[in-house]
Amino acid sequence: MALSFFICYINHSLAVKEEALLDFQNIIVLVIAAMLIAALALLANVMKENRRGAGKPVVAGEIDEHTTIRELLSINGGVSDVLSSYGMHCAGCPSASDEELCQACSVHNLDVDEVLSTLKEYLSLD
């Protein structure tokens, strides 16, 4: 009787350890997946910077629909007031800083050409 109890106890212990091992493996898979996603996002940003000219500051006269919100704000902080007048409070939104003007306008159902024209007028580029 004691022997069968001992065997049941060992089997139960092994089953618990096996479940714990599977949980640990799942956690490792999730961590690796998260690291891959972060690496891909970083790579996408690097590729985007390379297309625009890495490290090259945006000059006010070169803004277009593909200029990011961050780049617009770096030209002139007052751009946030222009964007706010259209209901785009992008200056305070962390997710919008790397968003292009055309993407931000699309999200807010705005005409990118109209917003771009207003921005250029504000920056005295037209």
CA dist 102 and 110 (Å) reads 9
**% of residues, the chain, pLDDT over 90:** 10
Cα 25 to Cα 19, 22, 33, 36, 73: the distances in Å are 10, 5, 12, 17, 45
Residue labelled with tokens 């998260």:
34
Confidence of residue 41 (pLDDT cuts 50, 70, 90): confident
Listed in sequence order, the residues at least 6 apart from 18 whose beta carbon sits closer than 8 Å to its beta carbon are none
pLDDT band at 115 (very low <50, low <70, confident <90, very high): very high
Query: What is this structure's pTM?
Result: 0.53
Q: How confident is the model at residue 78 (pLDDT cuts 50, 70, 90)?
A: confident
Instruction: Work out the number of other CB atoms within 10 angstroms of the CB of residue 8.
Output: 10
